[in-house]
Structure 1
Amino acid sequence: MKKVYSKLYYRNLNRTYYKDLESIHELLIPEGQRILEIGCGVGDLLSSLKPSYGVGIELDDTVANFARERHQNLQIYNANAENIFPKDINTNVPFDFIIINNTLNIVNDVNVLLERLDAFSNSQTRLVISFHNWLWQPLLKLSEKLGQRQPQPPESWLTPGDVSNLLDISGWEILKHGQRCLLPRNIPIVTSFANRWLSQLPIIENLCVTHWMVARPSPVKHKDSSISIVIPARNESGNIASAIKRMPDFGIPTEVIFVEGHSKDNTWEEINRVCSEYQGSISLEKFRQQGKGKADAVWLGFEKAKGDILVILDADLTVRPEDIPLFVKTLLSGNGEFINGCRLVYPRTNAAMPLLNTLANRFFASVFSWLLRQRIKDTLCGTKVLWKNDYQKIKEGRKYFGDFDPFGDFDLLFGASKLNLKIVEVPIRYQERIYGSSNISHIKEGLILAKMCLIAAFKMRFIP
C-alpha cells in the first residue's frame, strides 16, 4: 500500500493543482457521459466528472485495487493501456470521452496508445489530454528532490507541438487547446486570482503548468440522412414563394418548415398559399409561434423537424437558398460538425452590410474566437447547419448558459463549443434584401454582442 499512501499524500499536498485539473475537465466534459480514463490513479478525477459509465485503466495493481474500493461506482481495470482491447474491459460500446491526464509523458509508445484508442471510439468521441508545460521541468524536478512532488519514472517532456504531431499521425484531429494554472500551491486570494484570470491572458498563459487539448477521430462520411430547413419569417410575405422556388434539390429527403412570428403583413396568408399550391418533392410544414423572437421560432421549428440534419435559413434570403448544399455537404463529409455561414469573405455592397457593421462584426468575431478557442469569423450570420442529435445535446446543456439569447445564434455557437464540436464556416455571398426591411436594431445588436462576450468570458474562459 506504500504507493497508494504516497499518491494520496502528494495529492493532498498539491490539492490546489488537482482541484484546478478537475475544473478544466468539468468545463470540457458534461455530466452523465461514458468516460474512459487512461492512467486513472486512485480514480478521483474520473469520479468527480459524474459519468453515467466510468472506466479507469491503471497500470499498478495495488493502486487499481484501491481505486476500485474507493470508487465503487467506477469500473477499474489493472492493465497496460497500450495492449488493451474492448473485450478486456467488458464493453463494445464506444465512449463519449477518453481522458489521458498527465500520462502521455510516461507511456512507452505514445503513437501505439493513441492508435489503440480507435477501438474505443466513434465519430462522436472526444479525447481530452492534459500534460505539464515543459518550461516547468526544472522546477518540478526540484520539487521531487525536495519531497514536494511524487517521484516520477523517466519522463518524456512533450511540447504542445510534439503532442499535436503525435495526434496527427495517429488519426486524431485537434479541436481546441489551452493552458491553465499559474500557481499550483494555494496562496490565499493570490492563487485563485492568478489561476482564474491571469492564466488566461495572452503571453501569460504560456507560463501555466498545465497544457490541455481536445481532439476527435479523423472525419467519417455520413450517408442516408434527411434534412429539415427551418425558415423563421416575420413580415416577409414577399420572400416566401421565392424561398421555395429557389430551393435546390439536395438528393436526400427534404422538408421545409416555415415558422411565422406575429407579422404585421400577410406573411402567414402567403405561407398558407404557397404550401397549398406547391406540388414538388419537398415536404412543406407551417407553424405559428406563440412566443417572441427569432430564437423561439427556430426552437419551435427544430422541435417539429423530422430530419437528421437541421438548417436555419432566414426568410429575408440575404443568404441564398442555392448556397445551402455546400453547408450540407460539409456536414455530411465529416469535415465539420457545426457549420456556420460567413458573410465576411466575399465582396458585398454597403447596402447589404454597412461599413460600421462590418468592422463591428470583425472585432467581435476576433473576441469570440479567443473566448471559445475556435476560429469564428462571423458570429451573426443567421444560417447554421448541424445534426439534430447534437442540437438535442445543446438543448440539454442549455441550463449551463441560461436563457440569454433572443436570436439563437450564440445559444447554438456556445452550445457547440461546450460540446467540443468542430465549428467550421462556409463563405457565402451576402445579398441585399429584395423585399421588406431588417427586423434588427443595430444599436441593440451591438449591446447584445457585448453581453454575449461577457457570458462567454465567465462561462468558457475565466472559470473558477
Structure 2
Amino acid sequence: MPDVSASSHRAFFDAIAARRERDVRRHRTYYADRARWLRAILPADASLLEIGCGIGATLKELPHVRKVGIDLSPAMIDIARGRDHSSQYVVDDATALRHRGTYDAILLLDAINYLADVQHALGGMRGLCHERTRVVITFYNFLWQPLFLVGEWLGWKTRFPEQNWLRRSDIANLLTLAGFDVVTGGGRVLCPIGIPLFEPLCNRVFASFPVFRSLCLSQYIIARPRPRQRHDYTVTILSAVRNERGNIAPIVEAMPQIGTRTELLFAEGHSTDGTWEEIERVSREHRGPVTVRSIKQPGRGKGDALHAAIAASTGELLIVYDGDFTVHPSELTKLYDAIADGHAEFVNGSRLVYPMREGAMRMLNLIGNKLFSALFSWLFGQSLADTLSPVKAFLRRDYAGMTTRMDPFGDFDLFLGAAKQQLTMREVPVHYLERTYGMTKLSPFGHGWLLLKMWWRGTKELRWL
C-alpha cells in the first residue's frame, strides 16, 4: 500500500531542499565518515542505488561508475542533478517504487527513520536485487533523540517530521519478513563534531568496540536477499598435505561424492615420509566417482599450498580439508548443503560443539582457539567459534577477494576476504577425531604470535576505517 503521508513528506522536503546543502556542510564530519566507510565496504565495480538520496551528498563522494539516486522530493532531485553529474537521479517513492533494474548494492541511509510503512518499502526493494546484492541500511540511534531535540531547539539541526525510532532488532525482523537475511551490523560516529585528534580517536577506534558501538549516533545493518531455491555446484576438495603418508588412502576411500561432480585435489608440500609417492599410488589404484588429482606446491607453508591448489582446481564450490584426517570426509556434505541451500556464502566447520576424542586437541591449542575466535568474531562482525578449523567452504567466484597472501596458513586470508565482501558466514558442527598418523604442525606460541599480528592488521583494515 502506498505511503499515505507521501504528499506531506514531499512538501516538507521540497521546502527544506534549498538549505540542505548548508546542513550537509555543517555536519560534514558525519557525512565524511559515512562516505569513507562506504568506499571501504563496497567493491569498486559495484552498481549502486540509493533510496532517499536527498541532494546526493553521499553518492557524489563515491567513485563508482553506475550510481542511481531516488528521492521523493523533486526539489531535492533538481539540486542533486545540478551538483553531481556522475550519478543519475530519479524522482520516486520508496513505498511505491516504479524504478526497475537490479543493483549490486542498495543504500538506505538514514531514510528508514521517515518511512511510514517500512516493511512495504523493504518488500519493494526485493525486486531490485539479484542473488548477490547487499542492502546497506543506516539509522539513527534512539539514545540520541534528546540531543536531537536540543539541537533542533537551538537551531543547530533542521527540525524534521516525527521519526521512526527503530531498534536494530526491529529492522532485522522487518528485513526477515521482507525476504532478507542480516549479514552483519554495528555502529559508527561517537563524535559528530570535527575535533582534531579526539574525533578520529572516537570514530575510528573507540566506536569499533562493543561497549561503545551501541552508543554510536549511526547504527547500521547489512543484509542480503534470501535465496529462493537450492543451487547445486561442481566441487573441488582442497587438501594441503605434508608428511601425511598414512592419511592419504583413508581420505580417498572415505571421500563421498558431493555436488554434481567431485574433485579431490592434494597439494603436497615437500614431504620427507613418502607422501607424494603415496598420493601417486592411491590415485592410480582409485576407482570411484571422485576424481583424484595432485600438485606439488611451489613454495612453503599451508597458505602457499592452498592458493596453488585453488589455482589448479576446477570446481565452482571449494572445500578446504586438512590432510590430517581429524574430521571425517563424510561431514563435508554439511558444509556443501549450507551453501547450496542458500543458508550461507562462507561456511566454517566448528569442532567445539560435539565432545572431542581424548587427545584430539591439546589444552593450549584449545585455549588459544577460543581466544582467537573471540577476537576474530569481533573483527568480522559475525559469530565464529572455531577460527582454526581444518574445514571451510566457499564459492570460487568469491575467491578473488580472498587473496591478500598475508597469511602463512591461508585461513585468515579466506576469513578476511569473506568479511570484506560482506559474505554471510555460518558455522556447522563437525566431530573432531584424534590423529592416527603424523603430528600436528601448529605451535601454540609461534603460530599464536603470527595470528595475533594478522588480527592486528585486520583490525586496521576492517574496524579502524
Per the normalisation by structure 1, the TM-score is 0.93
| Structure 1 residues 334-353: aligned runs within 5 Å | 334-353=342-361
Question: Is residue 2:161 matched to residue 1:159?
Answer: no
Q: Secondary structure at the match of 1:19?
A: helix
Is contact 1:4-1:62 (8 Å) kept? yes
Separation in 1 of the partners of 2:253 and 2:175? 46
Separation in 1 of the partners of 2:40 and 2:411? 21
Question: Is residue 2:72 matched to residue 1:59?
Answer: yes
Separation in 1 of the partners of 2:285 and 2:308? 24
What is residue 178 of structure 1 aligned with on the other side?
Answer: 186
Can you list the C-alpha shifts for 1:134-179, whole angstroms capped at 9, x where unaligned? Answer: 1111211221232222332232222223222222222222121111
What is residue 240 of structure 2 aligned with on the other side?
Answer: 232
Can you list the C-alpha shifts for 1:19-52, whole angstroms capped at 9, x where unaligned? Answer: 1222332333222201111011222312333223
1:235 positional shift:
1.2
Separation in 2 of the partners of 1:279 and 1:206? 57
What is residue 264 of structure 1 aligned with on the other side?
Answer: 272
Separation in 1 of the partners of 2:406 and 2:233? 32
Deviates more, 1:448-457 or 1:403-412: 448-457
Candidates 76, 97, 101, aligned match of 2:105: 97
* CA RMSD, Structure 1 to Structure 2 (Å): 1.8
1:337 positional shift:
1.1
Separation in 2 of the partners of 1:130 and 1:14? 16
Separation in 2 of the partners of 1:207 and 1:249? 49
Equivalent residue pairs, number? 452
Is contact 2:364-2:444 (8 Å) kept? no
What is residue 290 of structure 2 aligned with on the other side?
Answer: 282
Is contact 1:82-1:112 (8 Å) kept? yes
Separation in 2 of the partners of 1:251 and 1:412? 22
AA partner of residue 229 (structure 2): K
| Structure 1 residues 29-178: aligned runs within 5 Å | 29-87=42-100, 91=101, 94-178=102-186
Candidates 322, 326, 333, aligned match of 2:341: 333
Q: 1:178 to 1:461 in 2, by over 3 A?
A: same
Separation in 2 of the partners of 1:228 and 1:327? 13
Deviates more, 1:262-271 or 1:109-118: 262-271
AA partner of residue 274 (structure 1): V
Q: Secondary structure at the match of 1:310?
A: strand
AA partner of residue 61 (structure 2): S
What is residue 294 of structure 1 aligned with on the other side?
Answer: 302
Q: Secondary structure at the match of 2:103?
A: coil
What is residue 230 of structure 2 aligned with on the other side?
Answer: 222
Is contact 1:340-1:423 (8 Å) kept? yes
AA partner of residue 53 (structure 1): R
What is residue 318 of structure 1 aligned with on the other side?
Answer: 326
Q: 4+ residue stretches of structure 1 with deviation over 6 A?
A: none
Deviates more, 1:353-362 or 1:42-51: 42-51
Separation in 1 of the partners of 2:47 and 2:228? 21
1:104 positional shift:
0.6
1:2 positional shift:
7.3
Is contact 2:321-2:391 (8 Å) kept? yes
Separation in 2 of the partners of 1:382 and 1:111? 41
Separation in 1 of the partners of 2:408 and 2:400? 19
Is contact 1:86-1:119 (8 Å) kept? no
What is residue 365 of structure 1 aligned with on the other side?
Answer: 373
What is residue 36 of structure 2 aligned with on the other side?
Answer: 23
AA partner of residue 464 (structure 2): F
Is contact 2:233-2:259 (8 Å) kept? no
Separation in 2 of the partners of 1:443 and 1:78? 59
Can you list the C-alpha shifts for 1:201-245, whole angstroms capped at 9, x where unaligned? Answer: 333332211111111122333334211111111111221121111
What is residue 20 of structure 2 aligned with on the other side?
Answer: 7
AA partner of residue 295 (structure 1): G
1:251 positional shift:
5.2
Q: Secondary structure at the match of 1:212?
A: strand
1:3 positional shift:
4.2
1:456 positional shift:
2.6
Separation in 1 of the partners of 2:134 and 2:159? 30
What is residue 430 of structure 1 aligned with on the other side?
Answer: 432
Separation in 2 of the partners of 1:393 and 1:78? 35
Q: 1:108 to 1:251 in 2, by over 3 A?
A: closer
Can you list the C-alpha shifts for 1:354-413, whole angstroms capped at 9, x where unaligned? Answer: 122112211221121122211000011121101111123334xx3xxxx32100111111
Q: Secondary structure at the match of 1:425?
A: strand
Separation in 1 of the partners of 2:442 and 2:98? 55
Can you list the C-alpha shifts for 1:330-373, whole angstroms capped at 9, x where unaligned? Answer: 11111111110111111113421012211221122112112221
Separation in 1 of the partners of 2:122 and 2:42? 19
Q: Secondary structure at the match of 2:371?
A: helix
Separation in 1 of the partners of 2:63 and 2:327? 42
Is contact 1:339-1:424 (8 Å) kept? yes
Candidates 398, 406, 409, aligned match of 1:407: 409
Over the matched positions of the two proteins, sequence identity in percent amounts to: 36
Is contact 1:37-1:99 (8 Å) kept? yes
1:116 positional shift:
0.2
Q: Secondary structure at the match of 2:123?
A: helix
